[in-house]
């Protein structure tokens, strides 16, 4: 979950020139060093959560730009490729007109549609369906078990043969017995054990400025100070290698401050933030029976309190009244 606001690299450069007056820096070098610093102090709460919907073709799909970590992958089991449902519109229109002219007297109100149900041609007709009729059909579909099973997790491959095989071998089913759907990463591609499909990829990426394309920096005092000292460390380290007097001591001092504030920011990022996160952590640790199917439910409702009817055998709800005493409600 994103818990920090973000600022541009211009704010870091302004802080650098304000804190280290007279210490010049090349802007291009500063951008590169800021990216290095963000890479060094990167934590999950500092990254931006994103979802990409990708089509799998020939067992592969390309990784999205800016990906840092893959959270989870889900496969749409009810997806059908557009190529499989494509149709010839002209042939449909000709067959429809010919069939209607032979069986119908007046066909002026008939509207041709293609095999996907889309209107063919420009037709200025308002179609009306009763509201409750649409609601009835939608609720039946949304509450069906087929709809709920349409997205299933894709596991990371945990056997060695999958890294080199592109597709399944018909005479070697034991190589693929660990999971129904699996993936692995080969270069810049995601490789799956199914030939085609449609997946949803949840991943973490670095937040970038939409105008400049430069990385955004968390608006936190520890992060800002750490990156500023990182720039000073790199600047003085360069001067140290060029035998500038006193630069080596200043580089060591800046490095020590960089490590201090970077560790401070990492520790702060890993701590729970807000009452809701503390409550979720508490309720996750109060389960008597471990939830072994949390992965297949995409880790949903982890903070839901466990129902324990055996703690209240008489079936009554215990509550606290206004006077502060406990009572029972039937």
| Choice among 67-81, 92-106, 223-237 with the minimum mean pLDDT | 92-106
Q: How confident is the model at residue 98 (pLDDT cuts 50, 70, 90)?
A: low
170-196 per-position pLDDT tens digit: 666 555 555 578 888 888 889 888 888
Strands, E assignment, the chain: 6-7, 48-56, 60-62, 67-76, 151-156, 182-186, 189-192, 197-205, 217-218, 317-320, 326-329
Q: How many CA atoms lie within 13 A of 306 on its CB side?
A: 14
| Choice among 23-37, 97-111, 150-164, 226-240 with the minimum mean pLDDT | 97-111
Average pLDDT, the chain: 75
Q: How confident is the model at residue 79 (pLDDT cuts 50, 70, 90)?
A: confident
- Distance (Å, rounded) from C-alpha 284 to C-alpha 270? 17
Pairing of strands 151-156, 182-186: parallel
Who's near 112: CB < 8 A, 6+ residues apart? 92, 93, 96, 97, 119, 120, 121
Q: How confident is the model at residue 328 (pLDDT cuts 50, 70, 90)?
A: very low
Burial class (CB in 10 A: 0-12, 13-18, 19+), 9: buried
Q: Where are the domains of the chain?
A: 6-47+207-270, 49-81+146-205, 275-329
251-288 per-position pLDDT tens digit: 999 999 999 999 999 888 888 877 887 887 787 777 77
Q: Are 326 and 312 in contact (CB under 8 A)?
A: no
Strand, coil or helix: what is 305? coil
Helix (H) or strand (E) holding 221: helix 221-241
Q: What is the pLDDT of residue 185?
A: 86
Q: Are 184 and 163 in contact (CB under 8 A)?
A: yes
Q: Are 204 and 50 in contact (CB under 8 A)?
A: yes
| Choice among 71-75, 103-107, 162-166 with the minimum mean pLDDT | 103-107
- Distance (Å, rounded) from C-alpha 242 to C-alpha 236? 10
Give start and end residues of each alpha helix (H) in 271-304. 275-284
Residue 54: strand pairing partners: 199
Among 11, 9, 13, 68, CA closest to 42: 68
The alpha carbon of residue 287 and the mean position of all alpha carbons in its chain are separated, in whole angstroms, by 27
| Choice among 91-105, 205-219, 294-308 with the minimum mean pLDDT | 91-105
Burial class (CB in 10 A: 0-12, 13-18, 19+), 28: exposed
pTM listed for this prediction = 0.62
For 239, phi and psi rounded to 5 degrees? -65, -30
Q: How confident is the model at residue 236 (pLDDT cuts 50, 70, 90)?
A: very high
| Choice among 95-109, 149-163, 269-283 with the minimum mean pLDDT | 95-109
């Amino acid at each position: 979950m994103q818990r920090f606001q973000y600022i541009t690299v211009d704010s870091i450069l302004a802080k650098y020139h304000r804190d280290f007056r007279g210490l010049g820096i090349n802007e291009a070098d500063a951008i590169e060093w800021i990216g290095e610093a963000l890479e060094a102090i990167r934590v999950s709460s500092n990254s931006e959560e994103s979802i990409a919907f990708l089509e799998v073709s020939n067992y592969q799909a390309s990784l999205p730009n800016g990906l840092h970590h893959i959270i989870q992958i889900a496969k749409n089991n009810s997806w059908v490729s557009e190529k499989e449902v494509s149709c010839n519109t002209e042939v449909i229109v000709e067959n429809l007109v010919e069939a209607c002219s032979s069986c119908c007297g007046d066909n002026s109100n008939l509207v041709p549609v293609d095999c996907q149900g889309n209107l063919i041609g420009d037709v200025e007709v308002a179609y009306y369906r009763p509201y409750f009729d649409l609601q009835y059909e939608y609720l039946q579909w949304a509450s069906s078990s087929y709809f709920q099973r349409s997205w299933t997790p894709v596991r990371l491959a945990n056997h060695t043969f999958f890294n080199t095989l592109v597709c399944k071998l018909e005479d070697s089913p034991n190589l693929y017995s660990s999971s129904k759907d699996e993936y692995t990463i080969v270069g810049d591609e995601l490789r799956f054990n199914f030939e085609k499909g449609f997946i949803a990829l949840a991943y973490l990426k670095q937040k970038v400025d939409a105008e400049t394309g430069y990385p955004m920096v968390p608006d936190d005092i520890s992060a800002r100070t750490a990156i500023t000292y990182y720039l000073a460390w790199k600047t003085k380290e360069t001067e140290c290698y060029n035998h500038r007097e006193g630069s080596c001591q200043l580089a060591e001092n800046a490095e020590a401050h960089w490590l201090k504030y970077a560790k401070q920011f990492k520790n702060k990022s890993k701590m729970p933030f807000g009452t809701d996160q503390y409550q979720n952590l508490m309720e996750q640790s109060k389960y008597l029976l471990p939830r072994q199917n949390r992965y297949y439910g995409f880790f949903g409702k982890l903070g839901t309190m466990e129902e324990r009817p055996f703690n209240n055998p008489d079936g009554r709800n215990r509550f606290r009244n206004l006077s502060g005493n406990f009572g029972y409600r039937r």
